[in-house]
Amino acid sequence: MLAIGAAQILYLDVPDHSAVDLAVEQANQDPRNRRFAKLVNAILRRLGREKEQVLDAIGKVAPMPAWFIARLEKAYGRDTALAISESQLEPAAIDLTVKSDPEGWAKRLNGVVLPTGGIRLAAFDGGIPSLEGFDEGAWWVQDAAASIPAKLFGDLSGRRAADLCAAPGGKTAQLILAGGAVTALDQSENRLRRLRSNLDRLGLKAETIAADLTTFEPAERFDAILLDAPCSSTGTTRRHPDVLWTKGPEDIARLAALQERLLRHALTLLKPGGTLVFSNCSLDPVEGEDVVARVLSDVDAVERVPIGAGDWPGLEAAITPLGEFRTLPTMLKMPDGIGSGLDGFYAAVLRRLA
């Protein structure tokens, strides 16, 4: 209630006295917080009196903590690091992945077609479920960057594919639409229930398995595997700004070690000649490029399959010299009226030779 009241006083077109009254009323209606009602009243009234000083102080705070800007600077240079930091102040756009006819859906929903084949919406009033096509399962919400890893497989017709960290299911849906017979694996049964619900709305089917990937052993190995591994989520801070203030370097190191363990095991589940796409939504190379480099350095019969920049018009800048994907929030400039940027993502394509 304090956070909401403070946001109303500092940033929204809500009279200060109304913001205070609403917060106090909310406190009084909750038996657990009733004893704090006077404190809420005092803090928010003071905030109203000192609004200008507080806004001035907030304006001097960098959008990202110094420790993470330093890591970005090491990876991408100072100018890019500062540009990424400033990009956090821009609202994230709403992107949709469509089953078919992106041009038609862009026209119907007042959006534009993206280089990924999805569409980006202009600002609109109302909720996502109110949009045309939601009930019919014609599309789902998925950031442009998040849609890239599954597209790296191409046509999966006649192939067995696995999405090994599958929930909430956007990438699973993409693999199904690419023609694959898909197994969706996730450690959490609750998350799998959400995945099944999402697939039901889209009219899609996949085998679902609740299991720990580190010990998962299928009866038959897969032709294609997508491992969108758990990570620090630092590429999604336009939508989740709290991430960088609740995590630190030790979390990145821990998650990178987990990703490496998962990747090494996932490669054992792949048929010879099969393809694995490793990805995550971290901006830190420790969780992406470094993990793949270590695995390739000592795992036999596995090679990197370079991604061609010419295959991704409009996103050529996101292809690294090694042929991997590295999107940054500063990429994907859009015309006026349409939000720019996309989530920070890493993806690499690996092939098992034997």
Q: Which pLDDT score, from 0 to 100, does residue 126 have? A: 82
Q: Are residues 317 and 245 in contact, defined by beta-carbon separation less than 8 angstroms?
A: no
Q: Is pLDDT above 90 for 283?
A: yes
- Quick check: is 281 catalytic? yes
Tokens, residue 256: 């990178």
In the predicted model, what is the mean pLDDT of residues 209-216?
97
Per cent of the chain over pLDDT 90 is 91
Tell me the backbone φ, ψ of residue 36, rounded to 5 degrees. -100, 5
Q: Which pLDDT score, from 0 to 100, does residue 243 have? A: 93
Question: Taking the model in full, what pTM does it have?
Answer: 0.89
pLDDT tens digits for 93-147?
999 999 999 999 999 999 999 999 999 999 877 899 999 999 999 999 999 999 9
Which is nearest to 92 in space by CA: 279, 338, 346, 345? 338
Which is nearest to 95 in space by CA: 61, 119, 74, 79? 119
Q: Which pLDDT score, from 0 to 100, does residue 141 have? A: 98
Per cent of the chain over pLDDT 70 is 100
DSSP-assigned letter for residue 285: G
Q: Give DSSP secondary structure letters for 207-218.
A: EEEE--GGG---
Q: Which pLDDT score, from 0 to 100, does residue 60 have? A: 80
Q: Which pLDDT score, from 0 to 100, does residue 191 have? A: 97
Instruction: Specify the higher pLDDT residue, 338 or 126.
Output: 338
* Integer angstrom CA distances of residue 254 from 172, 231, 286: 26, 9, 10
* pLDDT confidence tier of residue 58, bands split at 50, 70 and 90: confident
Question: Which domains occur in the chain, in start order?
Answer: 2-59 (no CATH), 144-352 (3.40.50.150)
Q: Are residues 252 and 229 in contact, defined by beta-carbon separation less than 8 angstroms?
A: no
Residue with tokens 């109303």: 8
Which positions ≥6 away from 308 have C-beta within 8 Å? 319, 323
- Spatial distance between the Cα atoms of 197 and 169, rounded to a whole number of angstroms: 9
Q: Are residues 211 and 162 in contact, defined by beta-carbon separation less than 8 angstroms?
A: no
Task: Catalytic residue, from 19, 131, 281, 292: name it.
Answer: 281
In the predicted model, what is the mean pLDDT of residues 5-19?
93
pLDDT tens digits for 230-280?
999 999 999 998 899 999 999 999 999 999 999 999 999 999 999 999 999
